[in-house]
Amino acid sequence: MSKQEQSFSLTIDGLPVTAGSGMTVLQAARQAGISIPTLCHHPQLSPFGGCRLCIVQIEGVPRPVTACTTPVSGGMVVTTDSSEISALRRTVLELILSDHPNDCMVCEAAGACDLQDLAYQFGLRDNPYPGERRLYEKRDANPFIERDMEKCIACGRCVKACDEIQGVGAINFTYRGFKTKICPPFERDLDCEFCGQCVQFCPTGALVGKQWDRAGRTLGVRPVKTVCGYCGVGCEVNIHVAGNRIVKVTVPDDAWNDGLLCVKGRFGYSFVQHHDRLTVPLVRRNGELAPASWDEALAVIANKLKQIRSAAGPDAIGGISSARCTNEENYAFQKFMRAIIGTNNVDHCARLCHAPTVAGLASIFGSGSMTNSIDEISGSEVLLLVGTNTKETHPVVANRMIEAKRRGAKIILIDPRRIPMARFADIHLRLRPGTNVALLKALAHVIVEEDLIDKEFIAEQTTGVESYLASLKAYAPEAVAGITGVPAEHIRAAARAYGSSRKAGIYYAMGITQHQSGTDNVRALAYLALLTGNIGRPHTGINPLRGQNNVQGACDAGCLPNVLPGYQKVGIPDNVEKFEQSWKTRLSAAPGMTMTEMIPAAASGVLKALYIMGENPVLTDPNASHTLLALKNLEFLVVQDIFLTETAELAHVVLPTACCYEKDGTFTNTERKVQRVRKAVEPPGKARDDLSILLDLTTAMGSKLGFTTPSEALQEFAALWEAMSGISYQRLEKGGLHWPCLDESHPGIKVRHAKGFRKGHAVFTPVEYRPAAEQVDPDFPFLLTTGRNLFHHHGGSMTRRVHPIELHAGRPYIEMNPEDAELMGIHTGDILRITSRRGSITVGALINRSVTPSVVFLPMHYREAAANILTSDSCDPVTKTPEFKVCAVKISTAETRAPKAEKLS
Ligand code: SF4
């Protein structure tokens, strides 16, 4: 029997208890339902034994010991409560409280303070130890977290959370004895990722979210359990509501994300109540958008869409739905376009990010989504991270990766930039942007050469391997080093590390997909998993990290021009017939236009009307000048959004909608988990949720969508797609469910392909390296790559209206290597003019080694330095996904800074 499998019998408070080796007395007691008070202990953190409240007596041990640091052993007899123990705990508490302010009445943590709870439990009223108290000047320059050091009990939970979970180590104990204080090095102001894990783990009111809106206490505040509205990780949150205002975000006790959030999820909620919110419908009259009633706005839309449909046909109308909207709203949107308008011209922002995932993985496995679950990450031996800036774009997934690292996993990072995950990487391959296929095939070359392949798996579960293996010959690391800039020995080391493990998981994001070779990149990556048999088992797989909160769900719901809900192909007679019968209407069998085809079609006049629900293509599509011209050329543009975005400013009708915390429904996160979204607050003014708008618009067009509530919409969707057939609102009340979930008692499948592939075999098809569409030349000597940062989300329409985030990260910047900067005489803060073949912006320089020489990085969030004025609209030929990650630019110093929020239109 291994050490881990050993178990011990012991007695706790007279009860026989069995505990595994490595467990502490505290864990064993809690497992047996015996409560022991603690303040410094937290189950997600390593034991500390600092507060001494968990002291217990162990037979044969002369003095009480801390239960949280004492390992169990066989035959141990433990007493967790006695008059002696109780008196000691009381004294410990009195000593802590003797140095604690008496302002419980106005403390933001009142009602949720562990110290207050214990004081109440022990009936403490007086301070028997009056004397010196620590007094600190209250001072904190950061806009997110308020530290009240007088309330700090030095339990160290914040220090451990910051170090062990977040991997940042921004704070630590300083000084000794009575002067002990937790603070950043040299007592500087806090400057960190502002994830707020320290706030969540603080047992008192020493760390609270900065009170821009002082009302975060539990009294009079109701928590509403829902899902974060930002990224595809889909963290569960409690939205704390006072009246109709959100005052705080925390994590429910039973949430799968274990108390963890990132800065956006925890502190990025004030956009909901921002004064810029749209509150009434707007209709363009005499060239100006003017307030209108809902009846009038919907009548204008219905009449105009009918008129265009009868004059130019249904395919003259396009629809772009939203990865920020619910599954039900997306299902309703595509049904509206297909069944009411009569076209398959429906798409959404997956086109701009993970369409190559859907196409690439589906062509190999028969379906395109994450093969494994987030929970499995921490148990992997090797994590291969490719083109994912996980710590900034999917921070809570990064927490699991850091946990895996702490447990001994190797992290291999493939990314041109020295991104924050590089701190945790054992091997970092800094390839030239756009050379992924060459590098991934070089890894495969080494895996084959060193016989690290899983022959049995390949023989039983795949086809086409011979031609694929033959295609690898030209990709020896030594040959590929010249293309990628990655030394051959580093490629070999990475290939050995990945190929030698049976628990190796691949994680990737838009650094892989946003290339003209996006689909090939996805395939080249997936073949590594097939070659080594690292798929179909826990802790392995190929796992795309989806960007927006519900981009997985919008794809699932059929907001793609070539597939009906559940990836059922348009044009296959059986599929069309199935949906025609359900929806009781004739459907078009011709695949529609992608979003990136709709824009040129609008420019050329082929597309006459566009209905956009919750997207802002002016800022988020490539080649913004062209997008602007195209949208201005439309006969009719409808935009449904929460703010008057750059795109909404061009619309003929603007409809004000509810945001993610103002409606009911479901989101599907990146790991295929469907979760309940619950309404926490009412939308402002006359804004309404997108589903009810679509229902009323359908009525105005003289038809019906066939459901009236989110739950009915999901029911209809689930009835049409086997993978969702076991999912219902009733079941989701108990927690999220992964699809495939095949019937009402099915638990949902976390590890896909465990029983083989849907198509029978996974298919190898050779892919070849093709250089990016734009290369540097003497006129445009820098490669520009774009992406996201930690603090903002996508086009920034939400995060840029969050005051603390804007205070901290409100300035656009371009990252440049010091060598380039020195050659050009550029310093951090200098204003640069960046010019591509499509346009020009001005932006401040940030000189650092995050980028290699000749490469510059520009975040996509800032309208006043819009990255997509520069980016190229060269597309992946399979999915028409633009190559956001590579374009050639030139750089000069600008005379003056661009005006803030320069108007794109
Ligand atoms: Fe929200 Fe994503 Fe941050 Fe979780 S990781 S809190 S889902 S933005």
pLDDT in tens, 256-314: 999 999 999 999 999 999 999 999 999 999 999 999 999 999 999 999 999 999 999 99
Read off the pLDDT of each residue in 686-696 and give the average, rounded to a whole number. Answer: 98
pLDDT of residue 900: 47
For ligand 1, the distance from its centroid to the CA atom of residue 261, given in whole angstroms, is 6
Phi, psi of 291 (to 5 degrees): -60, 145
Q: Which atom, in ligand 1's list, is nearest to the CA of 230?
A: 8
pLDDT above 60: residue 769: yes
Whether the predicted pLDDT of 543 surpasses 50: yes
- In this prediction, residue 127 has a pLDDT band, given cuts at 50, 70 and 90, of confident
What local confidence, expressed as pLDDT, does residue 758 receive?
80
237 C-alpha to ligand 1 centroid (Å): 9
With a 6 A CB cut-off, is 262 part of the ligand 1 pocket?
A: yes
State whether the beta carbon of 383 lies less than 6 angstroms from ligand 1: no
Is any ligand 1 atom within 6 A of the Cβ of residue 395?
A: yes
User: What letter represents residue 331's amino acid?
Assistant: Y
- How far, in Å, CA of 177 to CA of 286, rounded? 74
Greater confidence (410 vs 127) lies with 410
- pLDDT number for residue 130: 84
For residue 290, the model assigns a pLDDT of 98
In 435-543, where does DSSP find H-type helix? Answer: 436-449, 455-461, 465-471, 477-484, 488-499, 510-513, 518-532
pLDDT at 839: 93
* Residue located nearest, by CA, to atom 6 of ligand 1: 265
Q: Is 324 in the pocket of ligand 1 (CB under 6 A)?
A: no
Q: What is residue 383's three-state secondary structure?
A: strand
> Model confidence over 628-649: pLDDT tens digits?
999 999 999 999 999 999 999 9
SS3 letters for 286-326? CCEEEECCHHHHHHHHHHHHHHHHHHHCHHHEEEECCCCCC
pLDDT at 905: 42
Q: Which residues of 501-517 are buried (b: 16+ CB within 10 A; e: fewer)?
A: bebbbbbbbbbbbbbbb
Residue nearest to atom 2 of ligand 1 (CA): 231
Q: Quick one: which of 707, 754, 713, 715 has its CA closest to 731?
A: 715
- Kindly give the distance from the C-alpha atom of residue 648 to the centroid of ligand 1, in angstroms, as a whole number: 26
Closest CA to 198 of 44, 19, 80: 44
Count how many Cα atoms sit within 13 Å of the Cα of residue 227 in the half-sphere of its side chain: 29
Residue 159 has pLDDT above 80, yes or no: yes
pLDDT at 324 over 70: yes
Which pLDDT value is given to residue 141?
81
235 lines ligand 1 (CB under 6 A): yes
Kindly give the residue spans of alpha helices, DSSP state H, lying in 10-104: 25-31, 83-98
Atom of ligand 1 at shortest distance to CA of 231?
2
**Average of pLDDT values for 233-254?**
94
CB neighbourhood size of 129 (10 A): 12
What pLDDT is recorded for position 191?
84
Which of 25-39, 302-316, 864-878 has the least mean pLDDT?
A: 864-878
Token duo for residue 277 = 């919110």
Determine the average pLDDT of the residues in 496-516.
Answer: 95
Report whether residue 230 contacts ligand 1, using a CB cutoff of 6 Å.
yes
Mean pLDDT, residues 376-398: 97
| Pocket residue to mutate for ligand 1, from 193, 394, 545, 669, most atoms within 8 A of Cβ | 394
Please tell me the least confidently modeled range out of 130-139, 408-417, 781-790, 877-886.
Answer: 130-139
Query: What pLDDT, on the 0 to 100 scale, is given for residue 215?
Result: 58
pLDDT at 570: 95
Q: Is the CB of 545 under 6 A from ligand 1?
A: no
- pLDDT above 50 (res 1): no
Q: Which of 140-149, 450-459, 660-669 has the lowest average pLDDT?
A: 140-149
What does DSSP assign to residue 231? B
Straight-line distance from the first to the last Cα atom of the chain, in angstroms, rounded to the nearest whole number: 71
CB 234 less than 6 A from any atom of ligand 1: yes
| Residue bearing the CA closest to ligand 1, atom 1 | 265
Across the strands, what pairs with 204? none
| Range of lowest pLDDT (168-182, 421-435, 486-500, 554-568) | 168-182
Q: What confidence category does residue 216 fall into, taking pLDDT thresholds of 50, 70 and 90? A: low
pTM for the predicted model, two decimal places: 0.93
Q: What is the pLDDT of residue 460?
A: 95
Percent share of the chain, pLDDT over 70: 97
Report whether 828 contacts 847 (CB < 8 A). yes
- Tell me how far the alpha carbon of residue 549 lies from the centroid of ligand 1, in angstroms: 8
Q: Give the confidence band of 809 by pLDDT, cuts at 50, 70, 90.
A: very high
Residue nearest to atom 3 of ligand 1 (CA): 262
Averaged pLDDT, 161-166:
95
Q: Which of 197, 239, 261 to mutate to test the pocket of ligand 1 (most atoms within 8 A of CB)?
A: 261
- In 3-state terms, what secondary structure has residue 276? coil
Query: For the ranges 472-476, 510-514, 633-637, which has the lowest average pLDDT?
Result: 510-514
64 pLDDT above the threshold of 70: yes
Say yes or no to pLDDT of 559 above 90.
yes
Residue 396 near ligand 1, beta carbon < 6 Å: yes
DSSP annotation of 368 reads -
Q: What dihedral do alpha carbons 259, 160, 35, 15 form, nearest 10°?
A: 120
Provide the pLDDT for residue 136. 85
Q: Distance between CA atoms of 689 and 654, rounded to whole angstroms?
A: 14
* Residue range 476-495, pLDDT digits in tens: 999 999 999 999 999 999 99
pLDDT value for 561 = 97
Compute the distance between CA of residue 770 and CA of residue 438 in angstroms, rounded to an integer.
8
Whether 615 shows a pLDDT value over 80: the answer reads: yes
The verdict on the CB of residue 631 being under 6 Å from ligand 1 is no
Which two structure tokens, joined as six digits, stand for 796? 């920034």
Q: What is the largest CA-CA distance in the chain?
A: 93
